Amino acid sequence: MAKQNGINSATYNEFLIDSGKLYLNYGEAGEVALGATRGGSSFAINTEYRDMPVDGAKGPVKGGRRITKVEAVMTVNMVEIDATLLNKAIPGSTKADYPTTPAKTHDKITRALALLTTDYITNVAIVGEVSGTTTKYFVGILKNVIADGNLEIGFVDNDESVISIQWKAHFDPTAMETEPWEIRWPILTT
């Protein structure tokens, strides 16, 4: 018997490669590219399932499984840091001029202890290269997004700071049956 494998003529045209590019409000008014990363990024849809037990069933039964929780998250490791990124990485924060007179020298970021619905970002997306094409891309989008977790910036001699941000998608209260993420896979011709 010949060795078995899954290689076909399209195999090397269907790899996700390299680091990808990150966007806030992808495809929307106010779209912003986030900048350079180091250490990669990840896009995850974490799902919890429940197999509903029934007397007489010796194990899971087809049709007896339901989704009980979905968390869609993206983790990015930003080496390019600016005031806009810091403002979005600290939910509920505001950005203002500092000082206000005589001339601005910094952006000042502060926060009150309240999160508003306006603090959520329409979407965060990672756009990645697919091997075999230079014009079509994978797009992973999280919707109704806010940064989750703490902000930590490390300062080390002879190195650059990298901040890790975990973006978390949230369900829209007017569409609770629609998960807050989407994947766009390009139509590839070989």
For the chain, the structural domain boundaries read 12-51+60-184
Q: Looking at domain 12-51+60-184, does it have CATH number 3.40.190?
A: no
pLDDT by residue for the chain (190 residues), tens only, comes to 889 999 988 888 889 999 999 999 999 999 999 999 999 999 999 999 999 999 999 999 999 999 999 999 999 999 999 999 999 999 999 999 999 888 999 999 999 889 999 999 999 999 999 998 888 899 999 999 999 989 999 999 999 999 999 999 999 999 999 999 999 999 877 5
| Distance between CA atoms of residues 148 and 165, nearest Å | 7
| Distance between CA atoms of residues 165 and 89, nearest Å | 7
Q: Dig out the tokens for 93 from the structure.
A: 């924060």
